[in-house]
Amino acid sequence: QQQVKQSPQSLIVQKGGIPIINCAYENTAFDYFPWYQQFPGKGPALLIAIRPDVSEKKEGRFTISFNKSAKQFSLHIMDSQPGDSATYFCAAIGWERGSTLGRLYFGRGTQLTVWP
Amino acid sequence: DSGVTQTPKHLITATGQRVTLRCSPRSGDLSVYWYQQSLDQGLQFLIQYYNGEERAKGNILERFSAQQFPDLHSELNLSSLELGDSALYFCASRGDVSYTFGSGTRLTVV
């Protein structure tokens, strides 16, 4: 059972375009939503994250939009560049009953290609 | 450099063999998480350790085991390897909220 659903699986945009990656979740116990960027042969690296009491967060060209009532969140990349070509994972952190340690649940990933 | 160290970077072995993957968490982090990444399954959580104790298990096969040592480094042992075990194996450590990943071990079973 996929706790975090991510779409699309792949995305191709022209340089300067605004790719949008969408994610949805069901578990209302999730309380932290990070996005990871992964280049080939590298580990996932934290890109930006948001808590559910915030509707939008911007860091540079990356923006997370969060809709708590719909249990959806998305990543927008403004003025995309070829160097942004990577796989992007949305994720959610939840705490299982009785545990003091969070667990990270990943979406399936979106392979983004930005053409020059 | 993320601060999470994984060795070796690449490993090629034959079916039926056993291998050990090693992870050192970031300085000060007590937790270690292991993930398997394959093309068709994405990032799958395997197991979690905190200060030497196993705290959660995910989709980890019985042929796989792990431990975290007193110096907090962790080892993932994979035995009776099958072709389908070929994948990238990542470990991560967690500080306050965010998780930091190592660069992974690429395992190829031939």
Q: Report the amino acid identity of residue A31.
A: D
Task: List % helix, strand, coil for chain B (3-state, nearest 5).
Answer: 5, 55, 40
Integer CA distances (angstroms), A26 to A8, A95, B99, in order: 18, 14, 22
- Determine the pLDDT at residue B49: 94
Q: What is the Cα A67 distance to its own chain's centre?
A: 13
> From the first residue on, what is the mean pLDDT of each consecutive set of 10 residues in chain A (116 residues)?
90 97 92 94 93 95 96 97 97 75 88 96
- The Cα of A53 is separated from the nearest Cα of chain B by a number of Å equal to 16
Question: Between residues 90 and 109 of chain A, which touch chain B (CB distance below 8 Å)?
Answer: 93, 96, 99, 101-109
The pLDDT tens digits for B46-102 are 999 999 999 989 889 999 999 999 999 999 999 999 999 999 999 999 877 789 999
User: In a mutagenesis test of the A interface, which of B101, B105, B108 is the best target, namely the one with the most A β-carbons within 10 Å?
Assistant: B101
- Determine the pLDDT at residue B107: 97
Number of residues assigned to chain A: 116
Nearest partner of A63 among A74, A50, A52, A76, judged by Cα: A76
- The Cα of B103 is separated from the nearest Cα of chain A by a number of Å equal to 4
**CB-based contact A101 B50, cutoff 8 Å:** yes
